[in-house]
Structures are given as structure tokens and as C-alpha cells.
Structure 1
Amino acid sequence: MIVSRRTLGLGVFAIAALAGLPAAAQAGLSAEDRATLARAQTYLQALTSARGDFVETGPGGQRRAGRFWLQRPGRMRFEYTDPAGLLVVSDGSNVKRYDPRLDVFRQVPLGATPLSTFLARTVRFDQGVSIDRVTRMASGAFAITARDAAKPNEGSVILAFAGDPLRLQEWTITDAQGGRTRTQLTTLVNQPNLDASLFRLRDPTRRPGRN
């Protein structure tokens, strides 16, 4: 069963795109740009166990909210509260999605998704993504615009960071059709010792007597 980026949810794809800051894609950037990228890379590599809340605004203005948990290597949970019940979970081997409104469960191997790069024990920044630009603000905040180097026409992601203290604030995905989805992290905190049950999701559609 195939789970596409859109099927898995734009929030999950955007988190996967956080891995896209490769040194090899920095040609043409200034020394200050490269220093900003290095700062972001160090921050993201250290983001190993965390939780937070998010608000997602889609291309048509529709809003979805929820909570997320992250534990590298391999584990992440996106729990939507609006619409209630929608779940996207990576358990270290597979990425699973359950939509209770449609009673549909899907899964795909983690290694077959963009999540595998970000959720690896060591985040790699030396392959796969092209950096379009680095934008810095007087406040110390900055934004990085990146795209898939192998598929540059499939869209881009803008990652926005607060500068002091350094924190990922939001991302904006532009898809191949020009649709933009913005995900704002209303909270993001380090959270060690997350409960392992957060990253388990059984198929709720497999019930006795049902094929």
C-alpha cells in the first residue's frame, strides 16, 4: 500500500524536509549564509526528543491543529485535534496513518519516505536538497528556502527560525501546483523520556470477522 506525501499529511512531509540542508547544495551562498545553515543544522541534530503543538493552514485557508512528539531515531507522532482523531505515527520501521472519519488505515516503510532522513540517528546534510536562499532579519530570526534537488519542480519548503534563543517556529510548503500550506509551531520543547506507547499504532480497521 502506497502512502504519498499528501496522504501522510503536509506536517509530516515538512518535518522530513528539515533534513534538507546539505553542504553540497551551498554553492553560490555567502559565508554568512553558510554559517546560518550550519547553525540550523546543529540545532536540528540536537532536536532528538521533543513535543509541541501546531496549527496548519492549507491552500484554501482551511485550518488543522494538533500535537506532535518526536524521538529520534525513527519515531514521530502527529495527533490532530482538529479534525479530531487523525493520526500519523512512525514507529521506527513504518509510517502509519489512520483517519477515523473514513475508517482508513495506511502504512509504508519508513525507509521509503522522506521521514527516514530526518529521523535517522545522525541527520545528513550532504545530499538530496538544494538551498534556494537564506533570509536573515534584524531580530536574529532567519528563514531557509529549500527544494528536492532531484525533483526541483515538485515544490519547496521555507523553514523559519527564531534567532535568540534559536527555535524552529514554522514552515511553509509550496507544492508543484503552487498551493501553499503553512505550519506554525505554537509550542516546541525538549521532552526526554517520552512514553514508547506514543509511537505505536495498531490498525484499528482490523476487527474480528472483518477481512
Structure 2
Amino acid sequence: MRDNHTRRSSSLMFAASALGLTFAAPIAWANDAAERLTERLDPLENYQASFEQKILDGSGDRLQSARGEMWLSRPGMLRWEVEAPYSQVVVSDGQDVYLYDPDLEQVTIQAMDDRVTHTPALLLSGSTGELTASYDVFHEQQDGDDVFTLIPISADTLFEELSMVFDDQILTELWMMDSTGQRTAITFSDITRNGNIDRSLFDFEIPDGTDVIREGM
């Protein structure tokens, strides 16, 4: 039972972070990489997609996998729903982030501080200027896709490298590696960019009987 709880807790943090695998280090620095990334992110008002995500250890063995749906709207709003293997929900309303596990009947609430907003999915919902000021940005093309790799300037981050893969103007993948060598890949499909999204998706009402844990508040 304890092992199951540990796997669920790990999976929930995985969903909250929305992290991805890294590519090999870019072969060259592109002086205009930050400008190219800005050109793709600045027009992004909202984004909706299905996703599949995998966590791999340093040797490439799969540790976890999941699938679900996500909605993002600027500034600072996100809904990330894991449908399988466990039902989990992460919601940001621009001020607080809610990590909800319906099976455990537990929700963890965190303020939108710097560390929380530097998780990859929430990075997309924030200011492009802050993004390019906080990371060294590299660019290369792979198989016709534009790959932007972000290296944090500050040591206090949740990842060591983050790559965003674009097919023209559409974000199709996130790849990340953390300090332990653990890697995560997120692939998006059924993508809608700058469509109509119901704003109520970013309002989270705590269900009756749910245990509430508040962190840093």
C-alpha cells in the first residue's frame, strides 16, 4: 500500500512539473536563438492538446508513463489532467497552483512563486521576456523541426536542460533532464493554438471532504 502511495505521489509531482527529456547538447550557439523563440511564443495566447509523457532513468529504462489533456492560457493559467494510469489534476489560476489527487481525496496548494512558475508548462504561460532573461537559449534544426534548448542561469531550478520542439509555429514536444539524470518526454497531439477555451477550466473548487495541504502560504 505504501509503495502504491509513493508511486502516486511521484506521479502527481510529475504531472505538476510537466517536464521532458533533453536532446543532446546543441551543436552551436545561435545568437538569435532567443529572438526566434520569442517569435514563436509571443503570439501564443492559449494552447490546448492531448499529451503522452514518459519518465526514463539515466540508463533509458522507463519508470513511468501517463496520458491526458492540457489547457494553457496567458498569463499564468494552466489545467493539466492526467487520465491514466491515475487520475490527477493540476490547475493554476494565475495566483495559486492546485495539485489534486481525487483517489487520495487530497489537494496541495502552492502560491505562484518563482520556483513554481519555472516548471516547464507554466513557463509557457508566462512572460517571454522573463523566460529569455532567465535561460541561455540555443537553437538547432532536427528533421525539419526547430529545437530550442534552455539552460537555466540560476542553479535553483527543477531541471538542468529543457528543450521545446516546434513544427513551424506549433509546439509538439517538451524534453527535459534533471540533476539526477532522470529524463522526461512529453509529446502533444490534437493541438489547438489560440482557440476558444472556457476560462472556468482554470478555476478550481475544492471538493467536499478533500484534505487540503498548503505549502509556502
Preserved contact between residue 51 and residue 190 of structure 1 (Cα < 8 Å): yes
Equivalent position amino acid for 2:45 in 1: T
Preserved contact between residue 11 and residue 56 of structure 1 (Cα < 8 Å): no
For the residues of structure 2 that align with 1:99 and 1:9, how far apart are their CA atoms?
A: 13
| Distance of aligned partners of 1:8 and 1:200 in 2 relative to their CA distance in 1, 3 Å threshold | farther
What is the RMSD of the two structures over their aligned residues, measured on CA atoms? Answer: 3.0
> Residue 52 of structure 1 corresponds to which residue in structure 2?
49
For the residues of structure 2 that align with 1:111 and 1:129, how far apart are their CA atoms?
A: 17
- Shift in Å at residue 73 of structure 1? 1.3
Equivalent position amino acid for 2:152 in 1: D
Give structure 1 stretches of 5+ with no counterpart: 16-27
Give structure 2 stretches of 5+ with no counterpart: 1-9, 21-27, 211-217
- Shift in Å at residue 8 of structure 1? 4.0
Percent of aligned pairs sharing the same letter? 22
Superposed CA deviations along residues 105-136 of structure 1, whole A, max 9, x for unmatched, are 101112342256543366434422123x4222
- Shift in Å at residue 142 of structure 1? 2.2
Preserved contact between residue 105 and residue 204 of structure 1 (Cα < 8 Å): no
Matched, 1:35 2:38: no
| Distance of aligned partners of 1:117 and 1:51 in 2 relative to their CA distance in 1, 3 Å threshold | closer
Matched, 1:134 2:139: yes
- Shift in Å at residue 151 of structure 1? 1.0
Equivalent position SS for 1:124: helix
> Residue 214 of structure 2 corresponds to which residue in structure 1?
none
Question: 1:5-20 counterparts in 2 under 5 A?
Answer: 8-9=13-14, 12-14=17-19
> Residue 200 of structure 1 corresponds to which residue in structure 2?
203
Equivalent position SS for 1:38: helix
- Shift in Å at residue 13 of structure 1? 4.6
TM-score calculated relative to the size of structure 1: 0.74
For the residues of structure 1 that align with 2:11 and 2:134, how far apart are their CA atoms?
A: 20
Preserved contact between residue 51 and residue 69 of structure 2 (Cα < 8 Å): yes
Equivalent position SS for 2:113: helix
